[in-house]
Structure 1
Amino acid sequence: MNGSLHALLNTAAHHGLDFRFLLDAYDRDPFLHGLAVSIEIIVATMLGSAVAGIALLLASRSRHAWMAASARAFIELTRCTPTVVQLYCAFLVVNMLITQWLQQHHAENPFRPMFWVVLVLSLHQGAFHAEALRAGFDAVPAQTIEGAESLGLDRRTRFWRIEMPLALRTALPTLINNAVELVKASSLASAIAVGDITYQSIMIWTQRDNVLALMLLILLFYGALTLLVSRTGRWLEHRLWIPGYGT
């Protein structure tokens, strides 16, 4: 079996696709670790962006003008600036200021690059989630809200029991699209030396000069994950569809 694998990889290398690093634990183990780190980033930011999106939505719908205005300003700033610039500002500026302040108090900065990646991506995509949910809430029929009010439901109950379930169904295609974008944006972690699959691949191909082979693996990895997210989203759309609603 090992002989057949060696022969197969050698044949592929002869045709310009050098996957022989998979036979060497020195390169294979970091690559597999990078794959796991990428999945960890994606799962963490999926959850973080969902929380951030709901929090921004609630803030933007607040009765307090200052809170609604602050949420609106944050959403616009986040949507209108590149993700990688936000990541650099957080890691190279905010993180450095925190480090300097802690050093003055003889303490160590507990925030690692992984933290900043998850935080920035969660807040960035959370802004897009908030806008998608806002559109979903705007699509809830006024008659539905009036019916809930006539039943004596308070504002909080109407939000969680009536408006949110309906708005979520309307916004779901956009939310799933945001999730697909989030999967792809996770590769930006390599920009600040987080050891994800992209960063580990760069380290390998600088030594082995097998860029094409590793790029194909990266494309297959992200392609498979985005397809999984997209398929899951389609399943949720059919699962949560309310017959007759919106028609």
Structure 2
Amino acid sequence: MGLTTDSAPVGATIPGGGPAAPPAAPDDPASLRVVPARHHLRWVAAAAVLVLTAQFVHGLATNPVWEWDVFRAYVLSESIVAAVGVTLQLTVYATVLGFLLGTALAFMRLSHSAVLRTVAWTYIWVFRSIPMIVQLVFWFNLGALYKELGVGIPFGPVLWSVDSNSLIGTIGAALIGLSLHQAAYAAEIVRGGVLAVDGGQLEAAAALGIPRSRQIRRIVLPQAMRAILPTAGNEIIGLLKGTSVVYVMAIGELFYQVQVVYGRNGRVIPLLMVATAWYVFLTSVLSVAQYYVERRFARGANRTPPPTPLQRARRFVRNLRAAAARPHQPVPAGRPALTRRAEPGAHR
């Protein structure tokens, strides 16, 4: 007398002939019931976020304080568009000058010369310690410190001089302040990217007899750009918004012009929304440009980059068209069920 189970004993025969298949093991994946995980808190949090978002959008649309008619009247006005152009000019010039000077400072800090390292470190320390608004006011009042700027023999006679106020105007003072301030941060960004490159590549290039300048241009910088670009893009976006500080110099950039307009008509909220909309638009454009530049420099490290949003949209449209072209073709319900292979000697 032996123990029995609900299934046929091992070695028994079934009515059709042939041995019966062994019973499924308790840990066989095919015999387990798959129960999807339930994330109740996640659904509650998503619902709460959707409700808050709907309330915020409803308030934007129905609250009369926003005065969207005033917003529409000024967002594309001639004075505001001209102020946006001034903001873009300050951003572009300060970015180019700041990163050129910052790159030079970065390589000075990486130099074997103690003098160059000390000068670069001192510059970065000073200009990162002083707030930007203080630097701008200082350069704006440079004429009070130096009446004339000239060129001559060091510690000797001046051969040529010019009045400092006529040489450095308001825009010039703003560019100097923004560029020098940006250079201090750009120097650390570039230095961090260069240090991220494996030093063994420079040793190999030196062993091949490649000149030092060519090593930097063709080996170091292309690889360092992958580490530089994310932080540099973030810094440029911060500079774009930081140009609003030059309102203290009465320069007609975006924020200053908005202040002039709402100081004249008293419509503070809609005019601030005008500035907000333009800053959001400009930073969005810079973010898109940063995405594609990073994608280009990542080609050497990532041979199969993920599709861009435009490529995803095109693929989605193609899939929709393909599905519409064959409406009567049955759509599979899901993945086919997994089947176990028959045991050797089992009856088929």
Bin the TM-score by the shorter chain: 0.7 to 0.9
| Separation in structure 2 between the aligned mates of residue 70 and residue 194 of structure 1, nearest angstrom | 32
Matches for 1:1-247 after TM superposition, within 5 Å: 15-17=65-67, 20=70, 28-92=77-141, 94-98=142-146, 100-101=147-148, 107=163, 109-241=166-298, 242-243=300-301
Deviations 1:86-115 (A, max 9, x none): 1112212x24323x337xx88462211111
| Separation in structure 1 between the aligned mates of residue 99 and residue 297 of structure 2, nearest angstrom | 18
| Separation in structure 1 between the aligned mates of residue 240 and residue 174 of structure 2, nearest angstrom | 13
Shift of 1:13: 11
Shift of 1:179: 0.8
- What code does the residue aligned with 2:97 have? G
| Separation in structure 1 between the aligned mates of residue 208 and residue 123 of structure 2, nearest angstrom | 36
CA contact (8 A) 1:13 1:19 kept: no
| Separation in structure 1 between the aligned mates of residue 242 and residue 197 of structure 2, nearest angstrom | 31
Deviations 1:186-237 (A, max 9, x none): 1112111111111111111111001111111111111111111122112111
More displaced, 141-150 or 213-222?
141-150
CA contact (8 A) 2:106 2:190 kept: yes
How many residues were matched structurally?
229
**Residue 153 and residue 106 in structure 1: after superposition, are their counterparts in 2 closer, same or farther (change >3 A)?**
closer
* Gapped regions of structure 1 (runs ≥ 5): 1-11
| Separation in structure 2 between the aligned mates of residue 227 and residue 217 of structure 1, nearest angstrom | 15
CA contact (8 A) 1:30 1:200 kept: yes
**Residue 19 and residue 49 in structure 1: after superposition, are their counterparts in 2 closer, same or farther (change >3 A)?**
farther
| Separation in structure 2 between the aligned mates of residue 18 and residue 46 of structure 1, nearest angstrom | 34
**Residue 57 and residue 106 in structure 1: after superposition, are their counterparts in 2 closer, same or farther (change >3 A)?**
closer
Q: Over aligned residue pairs, what C-alpha RMSD do you find?
A: 2.7
**Residue 16 and residue 173 in structure 1: after superposition, are their counterparts in 2 closer, same or farther (change >3 A)?**
closer
CA contact (8 A) 2:109 2:118 kept: yes
| Separation in structure 1 between the aligned mates of residue 65 and residue 238 of structure 2, nearest angstrom | 33
| Separation in structure 2 between the aligned mates of residue 136 and residue 114 of structure 1, nearest angstrom | 32
Shift of 1:77: 1.3
Higher relative contact order (CA 8 A, sep 6+): 1
CA contact (8 A) 2:124 2:184 kept: yes
CA contact (8 A) 1:37 1:195 kept: yes
**Residue 36 and residue 59 in structure 1: after superposition, are their counterparts in 2 closer, same or farther (change >3 A)?**
same
- Give secondary structure in 2 for the equivalent of 1:164: helix
| Separation in structure 1 between the aligned mates of residue 252 and residue 302 of structure 2, nearest angstrom | 48
* Gapped regions of structure 2 (runs ≥ 5): 1-61, 150-160, 304-348
CA contact (8 A) 1:45 1:121 kept: yes
CA contact (8 A) 2:139 2:176 kept: no
| Percent of residue pairs bearing the same amino acid type | 26
More displaced, 44-53 or 199-208?
44-53
TM-score, structure 2 as length reference: 0.60
CA contact (8 A) 2:197 2:224 kept: yes
CA contact (8 A) 2:95 2:179 kept: yes
| Separation in structure 2 between the aligned mates of residue 222 and residue 150 of structure 1, nearest angstrom | 50
Greater radius of gyration (CA) = 2
- What code does the residue aligned with 1:96 have? A
| Separation in structure 1 between the aligned mates of residue 125 and residue 248 of structure 2, nearest angstrom | 24
| Separation in structure 1 between the aligned mates of residue 71 and residue 284 of structure 2, nearest angstrom | 27
